[in-house]
Every structure is written in structure tokens, then in C-alpha cells.
Structure 1
Amino acid sequence: MGVILTGCYKDLNIPPTVINPDGPPQVVNYGTDLAPLFNTSCAKSGCHVSGGHHPFMNSDISYNEIVNGGFVNTLVPKQSILYIMINSDMKEYIPSATDRQKVYDWIRNGAPNN
């Protein structure tokens, strides 16, 4: 007795996500887009929490730590310490290019506390 299995197969052409860092900045909400990202990716024991390294990235204080601590440069966003760090030494903690673009766009938009 033989069994014949048939099925259908179709290649999906999913276009790659294209990120244009110099295109128009997307609207990014610090409270809903970035604070949770920093809290889960950076506010870990021994890292960016009280007793660790500045800026502290706990959701309730991260905005003030980042902006008032001199980690963003809204005049030249690519020179922001935050932007440089998440694209170099700390890239492994925010590996998503989309998330890093959100940080960059937030800085380009003036780093609002929204």
C-alpha cells in the first residue's frame, strides 16, 4: 500500500523592511514607544538602574535622566550619546533596527516628553 501526499507551496515575496534614517521622522511617543523599550532592554540589575550606570532607564525616571543628563542632542541627533551608544556598544541590547530608528526619530523630533 502506498501513500501519496500532495500539497501546495507558494513562495512569499515579503519585501525587506527599509529604514531610511534621513527620511521624514516618524512620530514616536516616549511614554508608549520608548520608555517600555528602555525599561525592558536597559533597566536591568547592574546596568542602567540605581547603583548602576547613568542614565537610569526605569520607566518613571528615564526621560529626565536621558534629556537632562545630556544624552540627546536635538540639534545634531546623530551626535547624541544615546543614539551613538545604541548603535555601537549597546546595540546587542536594542538589536532591532526599527527600535533604534524610533529612538533616532524621537531625538530628531526634539525629544518630546509625550
Structure 2
Amino acid sequence: MKKLCVFILFFLVLNSCYNDNEEELYGPVSCDVSEITYSVNVLPIINASCATTGCHVSGGNAPGDFSVFNELKSKVDNGSFEDRVLIQKNMPPNAQLSDCDLEILQAWLDSGALNN
């Protein structure tokens, strides 16, 4: 009985350590970027990753209030948004954007970063 309990405990511990992510299992994830709009595709990424408490919001620590399109667009126009998010990939600082999020943002920039 004792051996059975040890085996079950070992099995449970071993299985709890399995944590592959989708990209490791299935290869790079691709998303449809054929019809990207700011309001439907980009704004949710910005709100979840940038325009958050303490960051790119009114009274936040980071420059620019990204909950306001024109302030985000000024960072897009001067190249700092693309540099930090898509080239250096050091924004957002405490999380990594998914490959699909990065594709969406790149497609939005490539299409002129419109407020549509």
C-alpha cells in the first residue's frame, strides 16, 4: 500500500510540472491580419497591456496616455511605439505580447495606424 501511495504521489507531482505553451506544441501561431481596425483589434491590446494603472494612462508613470488615441498616435508617428514594442520588445515591461498581438500591431502600423 505504501508503494502505491508513493507511486500515485510521484505521478501527480510529475504531471503537475507539464507546462508547454501553444507555440511550443504547434509551432508559431498566426492570426488573420487582413482587416485590422484600431477599435476592434488594436485598442483591446492597448487597454490590456499599455493603458493600465501606473503605465500609459492619465497620472501614470509612463509618458503618454494611451487611452487617448492622439497620444498613442504621437508615439507611433515619432517611431518610439514601433521601436519599443516591435523591435526592442521591451514594452510592455512586465509581460510579453503574443505573436498574434505583435502581428496585429505591425499590420496596423503598416496600414497607417488609423483610428478606425
Please state which band the TM-score falls in when normalised by the shorter chain.
0.5 to 0.7
Summarize the Cα distance change of 1:93–1:64 in structure 2 as closer, same or farther, 3 Å threshold: farther
Q: Which runs of 4+ in 1 moved over 4 A?
A: none
Does structure 2 retain, via aligned residues, the 8 Å contact 1:94–1:100? Answer: no
Q: If the length of structure 1 is used for normalisation, what is the TM-score? A: 0.62
Cα shift at 1:16: 2.3
Q: Which runs of 5+ in 2 are unaligned?
A: 1-24
Q: RMSD of aligned C-alpha atoms?
A: 2.4
CA contact (8 A) 1:41 1:94 kept: no
Aligned partner (choices 60, 63, 66) of residue 54 of structure 1:
63
Structure 2 residue 44 is the aligned partner of structure 1 residue 36: yes
Q: When the two structures are superposed, what TM-score results if normalisation uses the length of structure 2?
A: 0.61
What's 1:45 paired with? Answer: 53
Verify the 8 A CA contact 2:46 2:66 in the aligned structure 1.
yes
Report the counterpart of residue 17 of structure 1 in structure 2: 28
Counterparts of 2:79 and 2:103 in 1: how far apart (Å)? 13
Separation in 1, partners of 2:53, 2:29: 34
- 1:104 aligned onto 2:110: no
The answer to which structure has the higher helix fraction is 2
Asked whether the equivalents of residues 38 and 57 of structure 1 are also in contact (C-alpha less than 8 Å), the reply is yes
State how many pairs are aligned: 86
